[in-house]
Structure 1
Amino acid sequence: MIQIRHQIPGRIRLRIPALARNRPLADWIEHELGAVPGVEQATCNPGCASLVVRYGHSRLDPETIRAHLEAIIARPIDPSRLTCDPVDGRCRSCQRGTQDQAPPLKRILSLVLLAGYLGYVLIREHLLKRPVAQHALSPTGLIALAGAIPLLRDAWHETFVERRFTLHQFLAFSLVLGILMGEALTAFEIILVLRGGELLEGFVANRSRRAIRRMLALSVKDAWVWVDGQELQVAVAELREGDRVVVRTGEKIPVDGVIEHGEAELNEASISGRSEPVFKQVGDAVFAGGYVERGVIRIRAERVGEATYLARMAALVDASLDQKAPVQQRADELAARLLRLGTLSTLATLVLTRSVERALTVMLVMSCPCSTVLAAATAVSAALHSATRRQMLIKGGVHLERVGTAPCICFDKTGTLTTETPEVATVIGDDESALLYWAASAEHHNTHALAHAIVRHAETLGVEPDTHGISEHLLGHGLEARIGEHRVLVGNARMMASGKVSLRRYKAAAEQLIESGLTAVYVALDGKALGVIGIRHQLRAEVHETLARLRADGVSHIALISGDEPRVAAALAEELGLDSCHGGRLPEDKAEVVRALRAEHGAVVMVGDGVNDALALAEADIGIAMGSGGSEVAIEVADIALADSAMGNLAELRALSRQTLRVADQNYYLAVGTDVAGIALGAAGILSPAMGGLIHVTHTLGILANSSRLLSAR
């Protein structure tokens, strides 16, 4: 049964149960569906039985695509069209990637059982003085062979499917040869070390992002719908296009639509990134996820459920994550070097000494991937632990590696470079104390963020506000209050115009405040303007110092990408000396800017905190989510999350990245050094195959000791 799980114009995701772990069917669908006119791309994921199709929505529709799929699945698979031959309708070798990813508990249990058998062998040989048989059909030989099955499967896949020669084949051949030659215990020791290394590497691999959709989902469960002059409560899941949805102060908007009655101030930070509430009235568009701070509106729903802007952004984030190319880890380069060195050393030993035993010793010394599996993995594991203690969550070693070398860093504005708390930057008027007294008295009980900033500033300067009588908040304009016999107006130019207050004297000053990125708030007393207050969001501590450290550390381009007004964003960029500024950008626009900067500068790091940054975070080579107060989806999508919002952590991240790479290199050279010594001793006949296996223990202990220095890295 084919189920449509999500769709937007030009893109559809389907669930096909028959796809589950069936690579041949996935190849068949991708090949056949890709040939359908109008289909731009078809991508199957056998692991979760899903199919994502990109198509020209003017030429195809979801139902037509589903009909094509049903016809494709009904036809027999043509093996000549597949990248490999199916066996019993399933490609066993191609399922290697999903089969080997056993649950962590199962892998840990497997490692514990292998370690337990090694303990038994050691007790039997050294305490009980009873030898352990090591031939191929002995318990040790059979257990070693069973433990090597995942490795043998990898070697088979790389040889006959990918048609390339890697360390897996070299190691697999060495272990099988050692077991057949009666060195099963040596092979068993190597397998145990290999399993431990792979398990450790698995802990620092890419973290799960399954909660993306849950984090983006609306927290609203019920909504009020206007029907025949009455409000009826219905589940959000039951809303349909055309419904009239009523939303009041303090409630979230559950649909995309147009206001047909009422007006309100909306917090749309999760959509546009705008730091200030936006005044909306009849005819204005609103989006699901917005928050009504003041007012009551009735919305005619135009898009509901997965068709809303928020849901479509979730799909874009998901697609961007799927398209991000995996970065080859540093260990791959080290493995290639070790592979060449091991092959040449083994062949040279066999030719020069004509001793199979010596050649086997050299092969066993060089075949263990400790220098590749553990050199980077242990260094990264220690670095991640060190970062976590400083409230920096890094979701895998590859992200730690790349953040230290990226030449371009992009910042969001509100919540990233600035806090979400506004502050008074300047006061312009003949009598600043009197201006603040009347403004603070009028705003004293107002819950608006700008009102709090005015009251705090007045109190800081020792100005005590008076209590007011009647006050009226005018949406999108400001506040009118009665203080004794006086009438006080605090708000924008529209507020002053409605109160017939002349702004001629302060108009130029207010324009300068706006040009410099501040919000201008006028204050009038009894119809006469007293002055204007400039308010801005506070810069985070250490912003200037951190930007200077980043430039000194090799960052060549620092950009600001913000949803705020272009003039506001440009003023902040100029103040901080940034290289480029991109203001007034919606989420998809931010992602486009990241793509353009990557094409120009190479690897890009994006630093943000909100839902509106999620797409850009996913599009960047490294996404960094700022702050414990940041959006959960941004933290989920990002590769790195800074929990305490400290700007200094960005510079510390790059320093930690460089130090980790240095330690990984040291580990590699330590392992290679012991390998070279093992080659010389093995070729000379001084080391036996069993002693050659102990070289791996030396590798491991030395690498772990060196990597542990990162636990206390500064």
Structure 2
Amino acid sequence: MRKVENTVKKEYRLENLSCANCAMKFENNIKSLPDVEDAIVNFGASKVAVIGNVTIDDIEKAGAFDGIKVAPAKQRKEEKVPFFKRKENVVTVISFVFLVIGIITSFVYEETHPAAIGLFVLSIAVGGYEMFKSGLMNLSRFYFDMKTLMTIAIIGAAIIGEWREGAVVVFLFAVSEALEAYSMNKARQSISQLMDIAPSTATIRRGDKLVEVDTEFIQINDLLIVKPGQKIAMDGIVLKGTSAVNQASITGESVPVIKTIGDEVFAGTLNEEGSLEIQVTKRVEDTTIAKIIHLVEEAQAEKAPSQKFVDKFAKYYTPVIIAIAFLVAIVPPLLGADWQTWIYQGLAVLVVGCPCALVVSTPVAIVTAIGNAAKQGVLIKGGIHLEEIGRIQAIAFDKTGTLTKGYPEVTAVDSESKKDLIQKVMSIETYSQHPLGQAVVKYGAKEHIHAVEVEEFQSITGKGAEGVIDGKKWSVGSVSWITSISTISTEVIERVEQLQTEGNTVMLAAEDGQYKGFIAVADPIRKTSTVVLQDLKKAGIKHTVMLTGDDARTANAIAAKLGMTDVEAGLMPEQKLNAIKVLKEKYGAVAMVGDGVNDAPALAASTVGIAMGGAGTDAALETADVALMADDLEKLPYTIRLSRKALHIIKENIMFALGLKIIALLLIIPGWLTLWIAIFADMGATLLVVLNSLRLLKINK
């Protein structure tokens, strides 16, 4: 491959790219340009990446055979031309008018009448001009695609006097192309909707003035002003204000989230109630929504195993069909049959044998499924992962932050005066940085209890903390420490042990050595975890296992509540990795669900690594095969259902694409195969696989 100096990779968006074969030809045409080092066409996302010194005009010339339009990747999409105003569709309608008048004329007179033939020729010329131009050019280069095969078939039909058949086939082919383009645009709609989520301009505070600027000119640390009802244009941190923000476009969450000072917000989310002042933390090309769009488009470009098989099959399939068509046209006449009849049959075989439906059968399903998942807040990073999810038999879960909330909360308080106990304990824990102590402080604030002054605060390593409140010494800490300095009843000890068995950490408190009560703290199970695990079992997941570094007592208590198949506790990261390997040996396809950072080795070793809370962490977006953008497992059963449906639809598509053609080819035996039946078989198969794939758009939570 030639080396082009001083070049960079540039990306462009494409219009009118509706055919998978056309995409391959377009890519080869760009690569053949003199100053191009490499080019990659992403059919699913309708984009091209070019390394070389080329202009948009150069690229459009490379795609002139299919009327491909090119625009810079960052350019906002222009207003789309309505379906019935597109040039190719208008031409199709005019061709149809000539065809209908020609058919009427042929019935009034006869099919060989000069007026009828003239009308059919006009219909063919108007409707097939672009096709013939491409077909003849392809033929001169011995490149065989649908347009090449159609051109040969129409010229052959004209030579043997089948003018009406030729006109009907041209019209049906034009209709097929228009409907395929419409269907592919529909399949790509998920991506185009994602691109339109974030506004292109925003209001920025510059000194004492508010100015509206394009998002591409907004810098990090700029102050963004967002009024109620407006979309947030950039990722950032809230500096002033409190509001409910609808994050459905990023995370798929249906319920708005309250955002206040210090909270992170994302570009493309909707500010519903209050006014917010936001400090911008990322440039427009680095925002979460920009990364999602980029990763989804990359995912659509990555070929799934089934697609690689189809592409390889199609490579050998087309020459075989051309050979069969040639034999059908030549062999029977050489054995004494009628030349005109069998040449016509051979032309029909050429048309019916085009692999369009087969080539598009897999990518259209993958494009649709990945796009739909992105709208629901699930980022699937490639067709291979989409397929693998559908084959999963076992799922391993990290505990902290995945099945549980990931931070401690107060679960039980026992005292003669609960409010007094909370006040005294939170007052002492205010001086401590221990997570369990901070859980009590947060609980007290939530209950509108205010801390009091503490004197002589002292943290005692491994035991707890103590301080003097109103002249009395309060001690707060572990069960063993408080029981050593005060007398506690057997009944209380039994209750504490029961809570510990259920996964709680219990803090006891004493005033001047006299026991005053206890507070139980735990990392609570997410409300949705139980339902999600039940849904996974219904979806056919055979084995669910918790892999955690936590102690066995806590892990077993949580696993029992959730109804998990198995639990492995006290694991170091490398032990989690080994556990995944064992599961893969036993079940084949295994998923690991974690936070994308601490569980990186296990995520990498699993068949599919699924990261939680992708919207908040770049690491989750980068390391996992699948990212659940909301910090919630609710979307996991949906993802498995979508994947299994996609696998099912891909298999159906391949069966439809090959089955219809086989049936049509079998019509050669009794001599029933006609050109219009052939084009119906090809058009029908193509439309069937596209429309069947669009069913994936209907799958939601």
**Match for 1:518: what amino acid?**
N
Which residue among 101, 118, 125 is the counterpart of 2:40?
Answer: 101
Matched, 1:474 2:468: no
Distance 1:471 1:577, change over 3 A: farther
Match of 1:274 in 2: none
Distance 1:606 1:109, change over 3 A: farther
Is 2:313 aligned against 1:328?
Answer: no
Partner of residue 65 from structure 2, selected from 98, 114, 120: 114
- 2:408 pairs with 1:422: yes
**Counterparts of 1:187-266 in structure 2 under 5 Å?**
none
Give 1:489's aligned amino acid: S
The counterpart of 1:368, out of the listed 355, 363, 388, is 355
Q: Aligned-pair distance for 1:615?
A: 2.1
The structure 2 residue matched to 1:394, chosen from 374, 377, 380, is 380
> How far did residue 201 of structure 1 move?
14
Q: Counterpart in 1 of 2:485?
A: 501
Q: Find the aligned partners of 1:625 and 1:19 in 2 and give their Cα distance.
A: 41
**Secondary structure at the counterpart of residue 400 of structure 2:** coil
SS in 2 for 1:367: coil
Question: 1:631-688, CA deviations, whole angstroms, 9 ceiling, x for partnerless residues?
Answer: 4323322222111233221112222223333443444444345424543566666666
Letter of the structure 2 residue corresponding to residue 366 of structure 1: G
- Alignment of structure 1 residues 542-691 onto 2, 5 Å: 542-628=528-614, 631-672=617-658, 674-676=660-662, 678-679=664-665
Question: Does 1:708 find its partner at 2:685?
Answer: no
1:278 counterpart residue number: none
**Relative to 1, partners in 2 of residues 1:708 and 1:349: Cα closer, same or farther, differing over 3 Å?**
same
Deviation at 1:495, TM superposition (A): 6.6
Residues 254-300 of structure 1: CA deviation (Å, up to 9, x unaligned): xxxxxxxxxxxxxxxxxxxxxxxxxxxxxxxxxxxxxxxxxxxxxxx
AA partner of residue 600 (structure 2): A
Tell me how far 1:594 sits from its aligned partner.
0.9
Deviation at 1:419, TM superposition (A): 0.9
Once the two structures are superposed, the pairs formed by residues 61-76 of structure 1 within 5 Å of their partners are: none
Counterpart-to-counterpart distance in 2, 1:360 and 1:328: 33
The residue type paired with residue 469 of structure 1 is: V
| Gap change, CA 1:545 and 1:142, over 3 Å in 2 | same
Q: Within the alignment, does 1:490 sit opposite 2:441 as a pair? A: no
Residue 612 of structure 1: how far off its partner (Å): 1.3
Distance 1:357 1:552 in 2: 54
CA distance 1:684–1:106, change in 2 (3 Å): farther
CA contact (8 A) 2:407 2:523 kept: yes
C-alpha distance in structure 2 between counterparts of 1:545 and 1:344, whole Å: 57
Secondary structure of 1:596 counterpart:
helix
- CA offsets per residue over residues 303-331 of structure 1, 9 Å max, x none? xxxxxxxxxxxxxxxxxxxxxx9962277
**What letter corresponds to residue 654 of structure 1 in structure 2?**
I
Give 1:115 deviation, angstroms. 2.2
Counterpart residue type for residue 485 of structure 2:
V
Shift of the 591–584 alpha-carbon distance from structure 1 to 2, 3 Å rule, reads same
Say which SS state the counterpart of residue 523 (structure 2) adopts. strand
Matched residue, 2:266: none
Task: Kindly report the root-mean-square deviation, in angstroms, between the aligned alpha carbons of the 2 structures.
Answer: 5.3
CA deviation map 1:3-43 (0-9, x unaligned): xxxxxxxxxxxxxxx9999xxxxxxxxxxxxxxxxxxxxxx
SS at match of 1:612: coil
Give the CA deviation at 1:603: 0.7
- Matched-pair contact (CA < 8 Å) for 2:135–2:151: no
Q: CA deviation at 1:374?
A: 2.5
Alignment of 1:301-316 (within 5 A): none
Q: Which amino acid aligns with 1:140?
A: S
Once residues 3 and 525 of structure 2 are traced to their aligned partners in structure 1, the CA distance between those partners, rounded to angstroms, is 50
2:370 and 2:140 map into 1 onto residues whose CA distance is 33
Deviations 1:518-574 (A, max 9, x none): 223232222333343221112112211111121122111101112323433233223
Structure 2 residue corresponding to 1:143, chosen from 137, 157, 162: 137
Q: Does 1:436 align with 2:443?
A: no
Counterpart Cα distance in 2 of 1:565 and 1:20: 58
Give the deviation of 1:197 after TM superposition.
12
Q: What is the TM-score normalised by the length of structure 1?
A: 0.55
TM-score by length of 2: 0.56
Distance 2:307 2:123 in 1: 44
Partner of 2:203: none
Matched, 1:358 2:352: no
Identity of aligned residues (%): 26
Q: Does the CA contact (< 8 Å) of 1:115 and 1:192 recur in 2?
A: no
Contact 1:189/1:693 (<8 A) preserved: no
**Could you give the per-residue CA deviations for residues 54-107 of structure 1, whole angstroms, max 9, x where no partner exists?**
xxxxxxxxxxxxxxxxxxxxxxxxxxxxxxxxxxxxxx9xxxxx9673576447
Cα pair distance change 1:710/1:432, threshold 3 Å: same
Residue by residue over 1:349-368, the C-alpha shift from the partner in whole angstroms, topping out at 9 and shown as x without a partner, is 56667735523422431231
Cα 1:535–1:488 shift into 2, 3 Å: same
Alpha-carbon distance between aligned partners in 2 of 1:628 and 1:518, rounded to the nearest angstrom: 29
Determine the structure 1 residue equivalent to 2:259: none
What is the distance in 2 between the residues matched to 1:467 and 1:682? Answer: 94
Q: What is the SS of the residue equivalent to 1:558?
A: strand
Where 1:329 maps in the other structure, the secondary structure is helix
Q: 1:346·1:362 contact (CA, 8 Å) conserved in 2?
A: yes
Residues 122-160 of structure 1: CA deviation (Å, up to 9, x unaligned): 79988994976999xx953453258986x89xxxxxxxx
Residues 179 and 524 from structure 1, CA distance in 2 versus in 1: closer, same or farther, beyond 3 angstroms?
Answer: farther
Q: Which runs of 5+ in 2 are unaligned?
A: 10-30, 32-36, 50-58, 69-86, 99-120, 159-165, 190-301
The alignment of Structure 1 onto Structure 2 pairs a total of residues equal to 484
Partner letter of residue 449 of structure 2? Answer: E
Q: Higher mean Cα deviation, 378-387 or 103-112?
A: 103-112
- The letter of the residue matching 2:607 is D
